[in-house]
Amino acid sequence: MMLEGKVAIVTGSTQGLGLDIARQLLAEGARVMLVGRNADSGQALARALDCGFCVCDVERDEDIDACIAATLARFGRLDILVNNACLYADQGLASDRAQWLKTLNVNLVSAAIFTQKAAVHLPGGVVINIGSTGGKFGAAGRALYPASKAGILQLTKNLAMTLAPQQIRVLSVSPAWTWSPSVAEFSDNDPQLADRVGAPFHPLGRIGRGHEIGSVVAFLCSAGASWMTGVDVPVDGGFSILGPDRGVSPRVWFQQHRDSQ
């Protein structure tokens, strides 16, 4: 129970990775305010998990203010903010200005504004920004999501420096391929297929699971990580240590080429 007595807000937490993170924080003793736009699903989850729920569009400052106020009214304090809300739609170079602004507003600007507004209530607390390996490497046909996640990684460093005098720690966590609604769609809801497809890109031979990301987030929010701030923690099955050769020597690639002839 690393987080017993702590109170957390997790944005974008009524499905997917955000929900997995919220579950892990609850399992470690935290009291959690789920944040999402769907009132019906959010309220049902809050009842099932015995936690709070706040309807919130992270693009609206008034919604963010109301969410923080509701958390303080219900729990009396705030110790942890997890900026997870995210859009994944991305048409790369074909994206128009409105699409760019929408994605950056949700994925990057909302994290900055939520942190700005929460910081006054967070001395001694923790902000976790959810990054991605997508913010570290090039990907053909994409631009919006990677750019926003690269921005999150830089924002984490700046916020860590800015908030350090208040003893607020700021970190980012960057998953690689992780089981989620989008991966479930790609794989026809078959985790074993997803693992097989993802194996060549992850030295541990499979894709991640949300609870694995959530466990690391919970640790970073705990006293065990009290000397950590301003860094990105890759939780990616080794994805980020591979180069284009997937960690295999040229000798092997040339042999495979000869064998295929």
Residues paired with residue 50 on neighbouring β-strands, in sequence order: none
Dihedral class, residue 92 (left if φ above 0, else alpha if ψ from -120 to 50, else beta): left
State how far the Cα of 98 lies from the Cα of 105, in Å rounded to an integer: 10
- Return the axis-axis angle of helices 144-163 and 110-118, rounded to nearest 10°: 20
Buried b (16+ CB within 10 A) or exposed e, 52-87: bbbbbbbeeeebbeebbebbeeebeebbbbbbbbbb
145, 177, 179, 239: the catalytic one is 145
Neighbour count for residue 123 (Cβ, 10 Å):
12
Sheet strand arrangement including 31-36: 52-55, 31-36, 7-10, 80-83, 126-130, 169-175, 232-235
Block residue for tokens 């929460």:
118
Whether 145 is catalytic is yes
Q: Nearest CA to 214 among 83, 50, 22?
A: 22
Task: State the catalytic residues.
Answer: 145
